[in-house]
Structure formats: structure tokens, C-alpha cells
Amino acid sequence: MATTATAVPRRWRLPYRLQVDRRLEAPRWLSPLVSLGAILVALLLGAVILEIVGGDAVAAYAHIGRAAFGNLGVFSDTLVKATPLILVGLACAVAFQMKLWNIGAEGQFFMGALGASVVVLAPIVPIEAPRWVTIPAMLVAGMAFGALWGAIPGLLKATLRVNEVITTLMLNYVAISLVNFFVFAVWSEGGFQMSPTFQRAAWLPRLADYASQVPLFRGLTTHLGLAFALVAAGVVWYILYRSLWGFEIRLVGDNPRAAHYAGVNIVRNTVLVMMLSGALAGLAGMSEISGVVHRLQTSISPGYGFTGIIIAWLAKLNPLVVAPVSVLFGGLILAGREIQPAGVPRLIQGIILFTLIASEVLLRYRVRLVRVDAEPA
């Protein structure tokens, strides 16, 4: 293994130098520790930038902590924000496991919202239909629309080797334009950029709906979508780590050539994984309009699809870790809305992703400070 020395000036010598060695295997406890360190460094860098532009970093972070986790009410709002994040985080994680760079979760989210809206507004399910008919129909439609939107880049990648990074990203813009068309031209209510409010049967039940039985639930906005997200996390974990299909997905991600020789059908898996990924993001869109917005409108996402990428990476693509990480980012998005300047949450997310991938070098290399004169010559 190569041993290289850096940071050694030619003439004037520091008493210490950095010694960098390749690791054969990183200890299990190191990875979460390094991730935690990366987040701390990111928050520190974010604070420095905030101070440079004249903001008050301490106050901003304290505000995020209070406004996201301060009491049961705001924590419930944080969970509402975390719900779509869990689902898009899973969508990204499952695709990234196969090294399929689906960065179109945002568009698949919008398509899922559109699919669920078609069920209510077309209408496919009559207005008088009970909730146990309407909600499952919206669920299926939302996932189907998302899966369709994921299948397009999947097919292009599998058959024509078209770079999925760009196709998924381009389809984001297309999906948003399509939703805008329906919002403005087809379902606009009185010329406003929103559809009429859905009937109550199309709303996911909230904790607050049960306040008469459980007084503690009064005013809590957390809705059934959170249960969908947690179930999805379990299902995706089972698929990835306990099923043959998941083994194939991970094998293709690690070593496509070996997977090919092992007889894994890469074309079919590419399309299926993109569809699964799209369906999860579509479910996020459905859950958001059915559980929170209760109508279709243009501004239903503060970039959930993109935050999902960071969440998936921070969770090391592990579906079970996606959920707690999403709660943290849900808090950041919730509390970040009130922080000026407006780009701060985005900036912090960017810095976190950067320090995170940079820190991974510590898992591959051991970096030590050694005394120069203490070394054998």
C-alpha cells in the first residue's frame, strides 16, 4: 500500500508532518462518527458565512432548534415536513444503491401529486365516495404516476444508455410545467393558481382529528402519511437487504460486470428500480397534497426532491437511517422558512453534502500527525 507524505516544506521543516495510509478496513464505529463530525463542521462553516453576510448565526441556530423541536406542537410540524422527505430519501437511496443517479425525485413528487389530484378532480372517484375508497385510489394513482415518470429515464438508460442524471433532471422541469398547466388551465379556482379544495374524504386523517378521544392530540398536524413513510422504509429495507432482488440491486451497484456474469438482468432491473424510486417519490407527492395542502397548487415543494439526495447520502443509503435523518432536515426546512436571507437552509444543505463526501476520505485513509524526528530514518 502506498504511503505518501504531504505538507512537508523543503527547507524549513515543521516538527510534525501528516502521515496518510490506506486503510484496508474501516472500523464500524468510525463511519457514524465521521458523518457527525462532517455535520458539525458544516454547521460551523454555515455560521461563518452567516456572520460574513451580517446575520446572527447563534440566534439563527437557536431559532431552528426552538422552532423545530421546542415543543410537541412544533415537533409535530417537523414530522409533517419529514414525511415527504422520508419518502423521497428512500426513492433516492434505492436508486443510488444501484448507482442509478435519479435526481428527478422532485418531478416524480409533482407527478404523484398530479396523479392523486386526477382521482379527486377528474373525478375518477365520486365525491360521495367514502374515505376508504378515495384514499387508496389516490395512493395507487400517485405511485403509478411517479413510477411512470421514473420509468422513462429508466428505459432510456437501459436501452440507449442515455445519461439518467440529465434526463431525470430535465423531466423535473417538464413535470412542474405539466402541473402548472393543470393548475392554471384546467382546475383553476376563480383564476387563482390553485385547484378547489378536495372533499374531506380525500384528506389523510390527522392526529388532531382524534382530539376528542385523546386530548393530547389537539392541534397536532401529523397525518397518516407518516405511517405510509415508515412502512415504506421497512419495506424498502426488506427488499434491499433480505430479498434476492435487493441482492441483485446492490450487486449491480457494486460491480456491474460481476452482476452481468452472474446472470443479473441489468436492463430489467434498471427500469424496475427507477419505477420503484419514482413510485416512492410519487407517494410523497400524494401524501403531501392529501395530508397537508388538500388541493393541487404550484408551490407544493420547497425542493423536497433535492433534499432527498442529501438525506439518502447522509443515511449511507440505509432505508432505516433515512427516517431519523429526515426528521432533522424536516426541522431545518420548517424553521428555515423564517430565517433571512432566504437561501440559508439551501446553503447549509449544500455545505453538509460537501463536508460529508469530503469526510469519506477518512474512511479510506488513516491520517495521523507524526513527529518528524521520532521516525526511524
106: nearest Cα among 248, 284, 275, 266: 284
For residues 26-57, b (16+ Cβ closer than 10 Å) or e, as one string?
eeeeeeeebbeebbebbbebbbeebeeeebeb
Q: What is the distance, to the nearest Å, from the Cα of residue 105 to the centroid of all Cα atoms in its chain?
A: 8
Minimum distance of another protein from residue 371's CB (angstroms): 24
CB-nearer residue toward another protein: 22 or 268? 22
Minimum distance of another protein from residue 14's CB (angstroms): 20
Minimum distance of another protein from residue 299's CB (angstroms): 14
Minimum distance of another protein from residue 168's CB (angstroms): 10
What is the binding site for another protein (CB under 8 A)? 2, 4, 49-50, 53, 101, 103, 156, 160-163, 165-167, 169-171, 173-174, 177-178, 180-181, 184-185, 306, 309-310, 313, 340-344, 346-351, 353-354, 357-358, 360-361, 364
Minimum distance of another protein from residue 218's CB (angstroms): 37
**Exposed, middle or buried, 18 (CB in 10 Å: 0-12/13-18/19+)?**
middle
30: nearest Cα among 325, 362, 319: 362
83: nearest Cα among 104, 112, 120, 121: 112
CB-nearer residue toward another protein: 180 or 221? 180
CB-nearer residue toward another protein: 83 or 167? 167
Minimum distance of another protein from residue 66's CB (angstroms): 22
CB-nearer residue toward another protein: 361 or 372? 361
373: nearest Cα among 9, 15, 11: 15
Which residue reads 474512511 in cell numbers? 363
Minimum distance of another protein from residue 144's CB (angstroms): 21
Asked whether 174 and 107 are in contact (CB, 8 A), the reply is: yes
- CA atoms lying within 13 Å on the CB side of residue 34: 23
CB-nearer residue toward another protein: 79 or 114? 114
CB-nearer residue toward another protein: 51 or 371? 51
CB-nearer residue toward another protein: 46 or 291? 46
- In the chain, how many H helices and how many E strands? 14, 3
- Three-state secondary structure call for residue 28: coil
